Amino acid sequence: MTREKTPAAGDLLQGTLDMLILRTLITGRAHGHTIAEVIERTSENALEIEQGSLYPALHRLEDQGLLASEWGLSENNRKAKFYRLTPKGRKRLIADTAWWKQMTRAIGLILGESAK
């Protein structure tokens, strides 16, 4: 039952969450916890996600070949799974970012903001 709790939010997030994850990893490899924190912090806590929902996205992106992963030791000397961008993932990020900017600009225009 739980899995259908917030379908709309989930759907909305799906595409954007993927993009945010890719964006986070552009600076280098990171494990899940770091990724979650970075997204939370840099969005000024506006995008507060259930951290657990990060993992289906991570695994899907990995299966699509956009991310690669390896197990390693974290900054607190804990075992963790580190993710990094693949070249394919980098390309996808560029494409998605461009699309996103275009969309937000278009929506902004419709909502009456002046085009700058």
Partner 1 sequence: MAFRRFTDRKKKDALLSDEIEAHLAHEVDANIARGLSPDEARRQARLKFGNPLVTRERVWEYRSFPWIEDAWRDLRFAMRSLAKSPSFAVIAVLVIAVGIGANTAVFSVINTVLLKPLTYPDPGSLVMLMNVGPQGSFQVANVPKFNLWRQQTSIFDAVAAYDQAGAGLNLTGGNDPEQLQGVHVSLDYFRLFGAPLAAGRVFTSAEDSPNGGRVTVLSYGLWKRRFGADPKIVGTNIQLDGQPHLVVGIIGPNFVTETPADLWLPFQFDPISRDQAHYFQVAARLKPGVTPQMANAELKLVADQYRSMYPGVLGPKTTFGVSSLQEVMVGDTRLSLFVLLGAVTFVLLIACANVANLLLIRSTARQRELATRSALGAGRSHIIRQLLTESLAISLVGGFLGLILGFAGVRLLLAFSPGDIPRVGSDGSAVSLDTHVLLFTLGVSIFTGILFGLFPAISTSRINLARALKESSSQAGVGFRTGKVRSLLVISEVALALVLVVGAGLLIRTFMKLQGVDAGFDTHNVLTMAMSLSGDRFQKTAGVAQIIRDGMDRLKNVPGVSTSAATCCLPLEGGFGLPFDIVGRPKGNDPNTGGAGYIPISWGYFDVFKVPVLRGRSFTEHDDGSAPGVVIINEAMAKKYWPNADPLNDRLIIGANMGPVFVEPPRQIVGVVGDMRGNGLNRDPAPTMYIPIAQMPDKVTALNSRIAPLWWIVRSPQEPHPLAKPISVALRESSGGLPVAHIRSMDEIVVTSTARQRFNMLLLTIFGASALLVAAIGIYGLMGYSVQQRTQELGIRMALGAQASTIRNMIIRQGMILATIGIVIGVTGALWLTHFLASFLFEVKALDPAAFIATLLLLSAVAVVAVWFPARRATRVSPLTALRFE
Residue ranges that bind partner 1, judged by CB under 8 A: 2-3, 31-34, 36-37, 50-53, 55-56, 59-60, 63, 65, 74, 76, 78-81
Contact 14, 67 (CB under 8 A): no
Of 19 and 80, CB closest to partner 1: 80
Q: How far is the CB of 115 from partner 1 (least distance, A)?
A: 39
CB of 16 to partner 1, least distance (A): 18
Q: What is the 3-state secondary structure (H, E, C) of 68-102?
A: EEEEEECCCCCEEEEEEECHHHHHHHHHHHHHHHH
Rounded Cα distance between 83 and 21, Å, is: 10
State which residue, 59 or 101, has the beta carbon closest to partner 1.
59
